[in-house]
C-alpha cells in the first residue's frame, strides 16, 4: 500500500502552490533566520518525535482494535487526517501550527505502520529500520552534494509515483495480486524524494517553521521507504 505523499496528493492549483512553505525565499520568509546547526537539529528532533509517537502506537495499540474498524471508515479517516495535516503544515508560517499539522500526519501513518509491522518477525522489523536509516543518511548526503540533480529529477519522480499508485491500485483491487518489483520501484522513488526534500530543506530560509515543515516531508519519505524495505526483506526471509 502506498501512503500519502504531499508533493503528489495535495490538490492545490499553481497559484496556491506559490504561497507554500517550500516556495519561500529569504526575501519573503516569515520568522527569524536561525543557525544552520540549530535548523538541522530541529529537523532531527521533529523526525524523532514522529518516530517515537509511531513506536508508542505500535507498542500500546492492539492491531486487532485497528482491524476491527470498518475499512471504509478507516481509510476515510486516514486520508482526511493526512490531507488536513499536509495542508496545515505547508500553508502555516507558525511552527506550532505546523507541528500540529505534522502530528495529524504522524497519527494515521502510525496506524498503518502498526498493521504492517504486525505481519513480520521483530528481528526483520529491526533490520528494516537499520537499512532504512542507512539509506536515508546516504540519500541526505547525496542531496547535500547534488541538490540540483535531485531538483531536476523531481518531476520524473512525481510522474513515476503517480503511475505506480495507479498500477498498484489496479493490481490490488481488480486483479487481487501484487508484484514484488513494485516495492523495489517505490524504494528507488522515495530514495530520490529523500535526496530532493533534504536538498530543498537546505535551500529555503532556515526558520523554525521551515524546519518543522521540512521534517514533515522527510518523515513521509522515510516511512514510505521503511514499509517497502520491510516488505522486501520479509519476502526474502520466507
What residue segments make up the domains of the chain, in order of their start?
Answer: 6-236
Q: Please report the pLDDT score of residue 15 as a whole number.
A: 32
For residue range 125-162, list pLDDT tens digits in order.
Answer: 999 999 999 999 999 999 999 999 999 999 999 999 99
Q: What is the pLDDT of residues 14-25, one digit of tens each?
A: 333 344 655 655
First to last CA, the chain: 20
Mean pLDDT of 62-71: 94
pLDDT confidence of residue 31: 76
Cα(135)–Cα(140) distance, rounded to whole angstroms? 9
Over 80: is that where the pLDDT of 123 sits?
yes
Q: How far apart are CA 143 and CA 151, in angstroms?
A: 9
For 118, counting Cβ atoms within 10 Å of its Cβ (0-12 exposed, 13-18 middle, 19+ buried), the class is middle
Amino acid at each position: 500500500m502506498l501512503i500519502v505523499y504531499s508533493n503528489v496528493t495535495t490538490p492545490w492549483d499553481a497559484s496556491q502552490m506559490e504561497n507554500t512553505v517550500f516556495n519561500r525565499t529569504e526575501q519573503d520568509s516569515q520568522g527569524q533566520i536561525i543557525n544552520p546547526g540549530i535548523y538541522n537539529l530541529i529537523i532531527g528532533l521533529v523526525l524523532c518525535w514522529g518516530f517515537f509517537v509511531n513506536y508508542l502506537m505500535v507498542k500500546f495499540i492492539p492491531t486487532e482494535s485497528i482491524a476491527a474498524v470498518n475499512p471504509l471508515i478507516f481509510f476515510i479517516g486516514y486520508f482526511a487526517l493526512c490531507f488536513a495535516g499536509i495542508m496545515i503544515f505547508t500553508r502555516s508560517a507558525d511552527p506550532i501550527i505546523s507541528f500540529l499539522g505534522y502530528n495529524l500526519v504522524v497519527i494515521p501513518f502510525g496506524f498503518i505502520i502498526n498493521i504492517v509491522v504486525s505481519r513480520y518477525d521483530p528481528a526483520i522489523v529491526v533490520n528494516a529500520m537499520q537499512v532504512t536509516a542507512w539509506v536515508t543518511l546516504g540519500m541526505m548526503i547525496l542531496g547535500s552534494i547534488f541538490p540540483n540533480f535531485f531538483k531536476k529529477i523531481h518531476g520524473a519522480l512525481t510522474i513515476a509515483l503517480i503511475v505506480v499508485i495507479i498500477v498498484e491500485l489496479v493490481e490490488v483491487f481488480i486483479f487481487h495480486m501484487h508484484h514484488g518489483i513494485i516495492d523495489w520501484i517505490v524504494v528507488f522513488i522515495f530514495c530520490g524524494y529523500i535526496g530532493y526534500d533534504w536538498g530543498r530543506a537546505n535551500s529555503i530560509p532556515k526558520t523554525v517553521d521551515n524546519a518543522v515543515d521540512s521534517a514533515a516531508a522527510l518523515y513521509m519519505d522515510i516511512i514510505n521507504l521503511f514499509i517497502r524495505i520491510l516488505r522486501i526483506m520479509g519476502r526474502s526471509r520466507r
